[in-house]
């Protein structure tokens, strides 16, 4: 029986109409979850800095762009699982198969759609996400460098203001007054400290937000008037005392958020596209090869050749070539020398060994850092491809699994999706760690999770095509009830009830 092409087109539109709204909804939920994780991770860099809403909105916008590539695989998995779970729960999938349409033909429009999503994810990671990550790291670095928001506590000395210690006994929050204040001003040095005591005060930030204006009422100030830097402990130090009814102090305290230059973050591996990553890896490997070509002969000649190989001059006979300087052994020769000569030779040998060791350590550290940088760039290069392909593999897990369990909604599909994504994330983190530590090659560590996903996708697809009931609760219930120990136990319980 040949299916009607118009009926197949209606089927495709029916499946797509059910998939796209779910994809949009699950993508929004997944992205929101990742943004909450981001907020939880960097909340200490945002709180207490007096950051404007505009800056926070910009930070979360770039964070959303950064986590889009992570949210896409999870949303595809959940949307495909719910879509085919709904079809199976309402017997629509059974009706399609009964009319002669295979599962692969039902999945065909979604396969094409997900392949299109794979290319979008790859393009997004390679062109948009790189710029977003530079922006987000720039903002986070600027937030860490920003001066914290001024919040003077009660009853303790506040030391967050440079060259100042401020003590406030009580704060009148209703009138905005600071009561019983004591200020230590060390801006002119500890020897010339200025101590100010005031009954009340008022604090506000200047219009340019670069200074703090402290207005004091009814107080006194004390300052040393020492003319010499060194004095005896018992010597009295003259000081100046001033009584005032109103005094204004201008304290430098920049509360503006100054963005660092983006070029500082431009050299990071996360801010480079595929072409830039490949160019950097090739140039860094060439640099290491050139260093090895120079350092290996250098250390071989410095450590081995010049130390152990005897120099043979032309024109010497074979009898003259025998070195008679250490005929009795180096120890016997060394013991015949004077103590001054022994110390001189030992010092020279030690200096030579230290110089060789320092040169070797510097060369080794330089190559280690270069290899570490190359590895991080290779990880980013492999990650772009593996994370994009994960969307397609998650579809081949979610769609067959939904057809098997035949349960729609957010119950069972959501639980399975979260479990599978956590499994994928755990395996991916394990492979990433193995790649970073150099235990495995980079490509093995970064593609480990992809291989696991491919195996799961092939297994679930095979089971779905063959109408497996392995995930059907009723089938498991039947298997458990027919298990002989359980069956005997149920018979005993039923017999006991009948006896009673």
Structure confidence by residue, pLDDT tens digits, 296-319? 666 666 665 555 454 444 444 444
Whether residue 280 is found in the same domain as residue 205:
no
Is 233 within a domain? yes
In a domain, 20, yes or no: no
Residue 112 is predicted with a pLDDT of 93
Establish if 488 belongs to a structural domain. no
- Among residues 141, 144, 258, the alpha carbon closest in space to that of 210 is found at 258
The residue out of 379, 398, 419 marking a domain boundary is 379
Residue 334 has pLDDT above 80, yes or no: no
Does 211 score more than 90 pLDDT? no
Backbone angles phi, psi at 248, to 5 degrees: -115, 130
Average pLDDT of the chain?
Answer: 80
- The answer to whether residues 164 and 234 belong to one domain is yes
Could you tell me if 212 and 289 lie in one domain? Answer: no
Domain carrying residue 302: 272-309+326-379
Cα gap 77→392, rounded to integer Å: 9
Q: Within a domain: residue 455?
A: no
Q: What is the pLDDT of residue 320?
A: 46
Q: What is the pLDDT of residue 428?
A: 92
Residues 241 and 290 in one domain: no
Whether residue 36 lies inside any domain: the answer is no
**Final residue before a domain boundary, out of 362, 379, 396:** 379
Answer yes or no: do 283 and 215 share one domain.
no
Q: Do 178 and 229 sit in the same domain of this protein?
A: yes
Tell whether 345 is covered by a domain: yes
One domain, residues 305 and 232: no
| CA–CA distances in Å: residue 239 to residues 184, 225, 491 | 15, 5, 101
| Cα 44 to the center of its chain, rounded Å | 15
Q: Report the number of distinct structural domains present in the chain.
A: 2
Contact 238, 226 (CB under 8 A): yes
Residue 161 falls within a domain, yes or no? Answer: yes
Residues 183-203 pLDDT 10s = 888 887 777 788 999 999 988
**Shared domain check, 336 and 242:** no
What's the angle, vertex CA 377, arms to CA 429 and CA 418, rounded to 5?
25
Tally of CA atoms within 13 A in the half-sphere of 101 that contains its CB: 19
Question: Is residue 286 domain-shared with residue 248, that is, in the same domain?
Answer: no
pLDDT of residue 116: 95
Does pLDDT of 262 surpass 60?
yes
Distance CA 181, CA 201 (A): 7
Q: Is the pTM of this model over 0.85?
A: no
> CA 347 → CA 343, 350, 360, distances in Å?
6, 5, 20
Report the percentage of the chain scoring pLDDT > 70.
76
Nearest Cα neighbor of 420 from 394, 402, 399, 396 is: 394
Nearest Cα to 396, choosing from 445, 466, 462? 462
Burial class of residue 162 in the structure, from the number of CB atoms within 10 Å of its CB (0-12 exposed, 13-18 middle, 19+ buried): exposed
Q: 285 and 215 share a domain?
A: no
Whether residue 373 is contained in a domain is answered as yes
Specify the length of the chain in residues: 500
């Amino acid at each position: 029986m040949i299916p009607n092409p118009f009926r197949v087109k209606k089927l495709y539109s029916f499946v797509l109409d059910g998939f796209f709204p779910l994809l949009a909804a699950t993508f929004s939920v997944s992205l929101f979850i990742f943004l909450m994780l981001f907020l939880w991770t960097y909340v200490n860099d945002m709180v207490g800095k007096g950051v404007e809403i505009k800056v926070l909105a910009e930070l979360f916008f770039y964070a959303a762009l950064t986590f889009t590539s992570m949210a896409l695989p999870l949303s595809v998995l959940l949307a495909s699982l719910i879509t085919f779970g709904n079809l199976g729960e309402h017997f629509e999938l059974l009706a399609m198969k009964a009319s002669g349409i295979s599962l692969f033909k039902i999945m065909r429009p979604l396969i094409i759609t997900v392949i299109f999503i794979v290319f979008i994810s790859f393009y997004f990671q390679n062109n948009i996400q790189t710029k977003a990550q530079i922006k987000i790291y720039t903002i986070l670095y600027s937030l860490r460098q920003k001066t914290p928001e001024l919040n003077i506590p009660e009853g303790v000395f506040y030391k967050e203001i440079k060259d100042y210690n401020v003590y406030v006994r009580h704060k009148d929050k209703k009138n905005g007054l600071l009561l019983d204040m004591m200020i230590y001003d060390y801006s002119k040095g500890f020897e010339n400290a200025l101590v100010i005591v005031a009954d009340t005060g008022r604090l506000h930030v200047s219009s340019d937000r670069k200074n703090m204006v402290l207005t004091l009422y009814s107080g006194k100030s004390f300052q040393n008037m020492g003319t010499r830097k060194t004095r005896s402990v018992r010597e009295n130090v003259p000081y100046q005392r001033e009584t005032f009814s109103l005094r204004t102090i201008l304290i430098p305290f920049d509360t503006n958020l100054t963005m660092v230059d983006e070029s500082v973050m431009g050299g990071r591996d996360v801010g480079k596209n595929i072409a830039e990553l490949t160019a950097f890896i090739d140039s860094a490997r060439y640099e290491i090869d050139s260093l090895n070509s120079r350092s290996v002969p250098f250390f071989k000649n410095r450590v081995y050749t010049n130390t152990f190989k005897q120099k043979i001059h032309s024109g010497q006979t074979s009898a003259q070539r025998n070195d008679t300087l250490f005929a009795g052994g180096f120890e016997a020769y060394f013991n015949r020398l004077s103590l001054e000569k022994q110390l001189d030779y030992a010092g020279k040998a030690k200096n030579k060994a230290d110089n060789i060791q320092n040169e070797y350590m510097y060369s080794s550290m330089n190559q280690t850092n270069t290899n570490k940088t190359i590895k991080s760039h290779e990880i980013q290069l492999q990650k772009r491809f593996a994370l994009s392909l994960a969307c397609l593999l998650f579809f081949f897990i979610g769609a067959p699994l939904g057809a098997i369990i035949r349960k729609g909604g957010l119950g069972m599909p959501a639980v399975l999706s979260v479990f599978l994504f956590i499994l994928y994330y755990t395996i991916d983190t394990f492979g990433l760690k193995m790649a970073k530590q150099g235990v495995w090659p980079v490509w093995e560590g970064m593609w480990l999770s992809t291989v696991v996903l491919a195996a799961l996708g092939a297994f679930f697809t095979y089971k779905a095509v063959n109408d497996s009931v392995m995930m059907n609760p009723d089938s498991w219930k039947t298997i458990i009830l027919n298990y002989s120990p359980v069956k005997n136990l149920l018979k005993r319980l039923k017999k006991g009830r009948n006896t009673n």
